[in-house]
Every structure is written in C-alpha cells, then in structure tokens.
Structure 1
Amino acid sequence: MKSINSELWYACAGPLVSLPPVGSLVVYFPQGHSEQVAASMQKETDFVPSYPNLPSKLICMLHNVTLHLSRCWLRYLVHPCGHPDGVNIVTADPESDEVYAQMTLQPVSKVGLNQSRQPAEFFCKTLTASDTSTHGGFSVPHRAAEKIFPPLDFSMQLPAQELVARDLHEKTWTFRHIYRGQPKRHLLNTGWSVFVSNKRLFAGDSVLFIRDEKSQFLLGIRRANRQQPALSSSVISSDSMHIGILAAAAHAAANNSPFTIFYNPRASPFEFVVPLAKYNKTMYTQVSLGIRFRMMFEIEESRVRRYMGTITGISDLDPVRWKNSQWRNLQVGWDESTSGERPS
C-alpha cells in the first residue's frame, strides 16, 4: 500500500479535524459511531443494533496509527475482528478521493497526550460554475496565490509558470499558472479542465492546494455534501451490520481487547473519538441551563467560525438505547443573528 501525505489528508478532512496520535488516550463514543454507520447506510440510527453491556463511552489507548492509501475501506467497514495485526489504515476512496481513518483502540482501566497538526500552508476554494466549465480555468484568490505558489516574474509581458501538484493517489497534475485579464487575476488554465473532468468535479465542491515542508505542491478535493448512494449488498449486508458494527466494541469492553473502527471526517460532523485531555477539560467546565455556549463550525472556503448560543436543555439524545450518555446531550438556542447561517 502506498503511503499517503498526512498534511494532504488533514487538508481534505477539514480544518476542525484532528486525529489523536499513536499511544495517546482517547474517549470513544459508540453512539456517535452508530450515527455515522446509519448515515452511510441511509438508515435511521435505530437500524444499528445496540448492546446493553456496551458503555456509552470507553477510555481507550490508540494503537499504531499509520497513513496509507488503500481501496479496502468499504470492505472492512464492519469487520468484527478489526484489521489483521491491528494495523491502522487511512484510505482514499478511488472513486471520490475522500479520505477515511481506521483506528485500532484498546480499552484501558487507567489513564495522558500529544497533538495532531493541520498543514501550515494551504488554501481551499469552493468551486464556482466558471471554475468547473470545460472551457474555463480556475480563478485563484490573489492572497492565496501569493501565499502558496512560487512568485511570478512580473517583468514578463504575460507572467506565467508551470505548477506540478500531487494528489492522494500519488498522481501528478500539471497546470499553467498565469496572471492576466482586466482586472488582473491569477488563473490556472492549461491542464485544469483535464483535472476537473477526471475528478468529476462540480460547482460546490472544494479544491485544496498545499505546500508541504519540502515546498512541494499537494492537491486535494472535498466533495460537497450531496446524497451518497447506499452501499450495495455485495459490499455490506444487513447481517454483517448486525454482527460487526458495535459487537467488536462490546466484546472489547468486556475483555479489554483491541477493536477497530472507521471514521469518515466529511460524513461525521462530530468526532466520536476524542483526546482524553480534551474530554477532561470539557468535564471540568460547569454546565447548567442559561449558560452561554460557543462552538466552532466549518464554513465555506475551509474557514472556521465561532457561533454563540445559550444552553436551553440537558438530556439524553436517545434515552432508551443510550441512557445517561454524554453524547450530544446539550440543547443550544443559537443567537438569532447567526442561527440562520449556522451549519446544522
């Protein structure tokens, strides 16, 4: 399996995503995991079986996280025994260039922590109809071009240069970067329409350019949140769903044995594996009705924005299947000035 660039993975995953590092202690929320599984199957969460002996959260050690490019994600999604040898795989769907993370966790009785990183130099742009036109080019924001791309020679009558970027599949793409027009703007023209057609990009999708520590260019994409086709029975059956999704976690909880989970950062708006230190910091905060609450959300162009609101309720999201769970147990009334634009 080919190694995958970690900076590119994080850029594609989103600005708020941070996978805990190997050897760190984390808190796993099976209720959140079941929400992702249900969404991938286009089912209600009731479709995913719960296990009475499975706690609503597990403190675990994260083992052997490595980054790879693989085509096995759908096949192994509900593997009840985890990946052989506990090897963790980050994969990219060959049809969509979307990234996934596979993590092997092991429950622990005692309890530590480091940090993951986002790429330092990158920009993200949501594609317009013009950007995806077969006869057009890609209009690069002025500040982004100056920050990421090598400087152009503006003494030339028509400043231009060739850019070579590598995607998740280690395929290289060559574009012509030119500065022209009225008013003057940065464009990628030659090679761009081939990239758009090959990746089947549409207006609303996003493209990321990253400059890594070696000043090499990496190229990633994020699909707009369109309805995903349900997984076919040839890939994943309802039987394997019932046997595999949370069965491995329930068995691991009872035996302190390793188990494997998969995380799709673009399909799961809420991380269900979080650093223990982050969880503890939240638990130290006194929460009660009427308290002001703030939370970061991803908005367009890969930017993040803090939204403010007031806690209006504290209750179980699913009191029947997950009683006394801390997973999404706060109800927040968002400030009227931002409620209409806040992502759901």
Structure 2
Amino acid sequence: MEFDLNHEVNEGEKSGYCEKIIGGGGGGSGWSSSSTSSASAVSSVSSSIYFELWHACAGPLTSLPKKGSVVVYFPQGHIEQAVSSLSMPCLEMPIFSLQPQIFCRVVNVQLLANKENDEVYTQVTLFPEPELGERNAEDTGHEDEMGEEEGGGVSPRMLTPHMFCKTLTASDTSTHGGFSVPRRAAEDCFPPLDYTQERPSQELVAKDLHEVEWKFRHIYRGQPRRHLLTTGWSIFVSQKNLVSGDAVLFLRGEDGELRLGIRRAVRPRNSLPNSVLTEQNTHPNIFSPVSNAISTKSMFHIFYSPRGSPAEFVIPYNKYVKSITHQVAIGMRFKMKLENEDAAERRCSGVVTGVGDIDPFRWPESKWRCLKIF
C-alpha cells in the first residue's frame, strides 16, 4: 500500500514542484479569506518538513523533475529498475519499438512512501512530445520552456531544517537499551529540557512518512550524562524491523513539529510497493502504457525508486543536451558524484576507456550508459 504525500504540499509555496492533490469538488474555493490564510500557513509549514524528510530519506543526490519542464525518459533505465526489483531478464521484455530516448513534458510528480518498508519513491506523470527531439541541440530560444539551466530539478536542500541522521549501533537496536542521541543533535532537534531537574526528561511525539505518531521518552541521564530515547523506542525498532547499520533521521520544523524517517543499510529489492510490482510483473505491462501514450498522444505514469533504482532514467532536457553536445573521447579524465549505501555523497575520478552502444541490437544509437570508464 502506498501513501501520497502530495496533499501536504502547498501549491503557493512549492508551485512547480509537486501538484497538490485536491479531493472532491475543486478544493478550498469555498473557504473564507481568513480561514484560507490560516490553512495555507499551516499547510506551508507541514509541506516544507514533509518535502525535506522525503529527500533526506531518498539521499543527498536525489533530484526531482520540475512540473512543466521537459525531460528525456530512458526506457533502458526503466528496465534496469524492473530487473533489480523483479529478477527478470531484460532481454525477455518486449520494447514495442520504443526509441532509446523519449522526450516528454512533466505533468505531475507525486512523493510517495512504501508502507511495507518505508522506502521512498515517486510517481511521475509524463506527456510524450517526440517533436522536441528534432530541435537543434544548440537552439537556445526555448530555455524558459525547457527548464532551468541545470535541468530544472528540485533541490533536496531548500530549507536546511533542524535535522540529524544516525546510523544505529547494536545497543541502539537492543531490546534492553535505548537510542543514544548525540548531545548537539538532541539540543538542535528536540525541545529544550529543564536541566534544573535531577533527571531531565520529556515526552516526544514524532510522525513518520505515513502520518503515524510515535511517542518516545527523552531523558538525560547516566555517567557521564547523555541523551537517550527510552520508552517507546524498542516498539519502534521492532515494528520497523530496524537492525544495526540502518539509519534513523529526525527533523524539526520551524513550528517545532517533529518528523522521523528511515534509511535502510541494505537497499531492499522491493523498494517499490507490492501493488506497483504486481502491475509490472507481466513483461508487456512495463512498456505497453508508454507505447500506447505515444501513439494516442496521451499521458503515462512511471514509478521511480531513488534508492532502489541503479540510476535515474528521467533526465532534464538541458542536462541531456549538454551531455550529447560535449564531445567525449577515449582517454579523457572525469570526475563525478556517487552515493554509497549509507547515502553519503562521495566523489570519484577516472578515465574514459570506450564509447559505444551498450545494446546496439535492441537500442541502437542510445545515449544510455554509452561510456566505458575505469
């Protein structure tokens, strides 16, 4: 079962990032002006912390396409995600004569979370516009239409909220212990304790990505004294199936609202929920909606798991144009960013050792993984 977080996104503040889902007949058009202002203020605060929490769980290198921008969809990348999730050979998947690069406009982006394991993912709605691929790559007359210069993606760090992330130790996941919180992190994210008390303590209430409330006892004790989450912590660890090496994130909004998320040490194969995997479990279902959308000039949806997919396969148009216009030759050195299992950002360098199609028979002239590097 998946949960749509879009209802927490305020259109006024995040316009162009994620479309607000409005149920019933037309949203809040019947509110009075005063109630609209009040509700917008509450929604703005709530949407901000949800947005930050989703990105914190996704990892530092995750970016989202901007609503209305032009992107390039790579079916080969979509196959890689399906193969990693479903353990099916990619050569058995019919490709319906799809082009290796499909130019589309972003209609909507939904921030979602997998109820089964708390992995975050997105549903991106795309409208194919193949004529965009025929434009001259050096045509600069459509920059505003295509998106921002660096691709129009949504930055994962927009508000830099009060946040800390800790990788769990064996004692943190022990049923007899508690969660040890670094002092600076506790003082930054949690409400202040009354240190005049002999054993300063308080009750914390934090919501996860599914709006479930978790209550913890926050206490400052021990010798030397340290911050601990005690009562309620073992229940959280048990129900979330946390193990040593997993990471827990706490975020505090400007209004004091506390949120928490999870980043697994090992990325589960089923990063997408079972409901999505079931739809993709028959080979034709992966690309038949794409082929149908192109032939009927209609929209199609793709699901993307930032931590489960080997690579992003919806790329901003301008980023794509830069990549194909920049001549790459064998022997050139390069630098790039990578994300490890702990979601920490790393940089690496190397040398280009080859240039060519990774699958010249099924996907000729594809730009997907066309470089060999060492």
Moved >4 Å (runs of 4+) = 229-235
CA distance in 2, matches of 1:20, 1:275: 7
Q: Name which of structure 1's ranges 265-274 and 229-238 shifts more when overlaid on structure 2.
A: 229-238
Identity level (%): 51
CA distance in 2, matches of 1:214, 1:281: 41
Change (3 A) 1:62 1:179: same
Change (3 A) 1:146 1:316: farther
Alignment of 1:63 with 2:84, yes or no, is no
Change (3 A) 1:143 1:233: closer
What residue is the counterpart of 2:115 in the other structure?
A: 94
* Aligned-residue CA RMSD (Å): 2.7
CA distance in 1, matches of 2:351, 2:224: 45
* TM-fit CA distance, 1:270: 0.8
Residue type at the aligned position of 2:125: T
Change (3 A) 1:227 1:99: closer
CA-to-aligned-CA distance 1:13-37 (integer Å, 9 cap, x gap): 2221111121111111110001111
Could you say which structure has the larger radius of gyration? 2
CA distance in 2, matches of 1:163, 1:15: 27
What residue is the counterpart of 1:281 in the other structure?
A: 322
Contact 1:148 1:210 in 2 (8 A): yes
* TM-fit CA distance, 1:250: 2.3
Contact 2:279 2:285 in 1 (8 A): no
Contact 2:267 2:307 in 1 (8 A): no
What residue is the counterpart of 1:131 in the other structure?
A: 172
Residue type at the aligned position of 2:68: G
* TM-fit CA distance, 1:237: 7.4
Aligned residues: 308
CA distance in 1, matches of 2:68, 2:270: 36
Show the 5 A alignment for 1:40-51: 40-51=85-96
Alignment of 1:30 with 2:71, yes or no, is no
- From 317, 325, 331, the counterpart of 2:372: 331
> 1:286 aligns to what SS in structure 2?
coil
CA-to-aligned-CA distance 1:170-195 (integer Å, 9 cap, x gap): 11111222333344433222211111
Change (3 A) 1:235 1:304: closer
What residue is the counterpart of 2:246 in the other structure?
A: 205
* TM-fit CA distance, 1:225: 2.3
CA distance in 1, matches of 2:125, 2:276: 25
CA distance in 2, matches of 1:217, 1:144: 13
* TM-fit CA distance, 1:61: 0.5
CA distance in 2, matches of 1:234, 1:286: 39
Alignment of 1:242 with 2:283, yes or no, is yes
* TM-fit CA distance, 1:49: 2.1
- From 84, 106, 117, the counterpart of 2:127: 106
What residue is the counterpart of 2:19 in the other structure?
A: none
- Compare the two structures and name the one with the higher helix fraction: 2
CA distance in 2, matches of 1:145, 1:127: 15
> 2:193 aligns to what SS in structure 1?
coil
What residue is the counterpart of 2:355 in the other structure?
A: 314
Unaligned residue ranges in structure 2 (runs of 5+): 9-49, 133-144
Change (3 A) 1:152 1:288: farther
Q: Name which of structure 1's ranges 210-219 and 168-177 shifts more when overlaid on structure 2.
A: 210-219
* TM-fit CA distance, 1:41: 0.8
* TM-fit CA distance, 1:257: 2.3
CA distance in 2, matches of 1:309, 1:186: 44
Change (3 A) 1:226 1:279: closer
Change (3 A) 1:148 1:317: farther
Residue type at the aligned position of 1:60: C
> 1:95 aligns to what SS in structure 2?
coil
Contact 1:38 1:48 in 2 (8 A): no
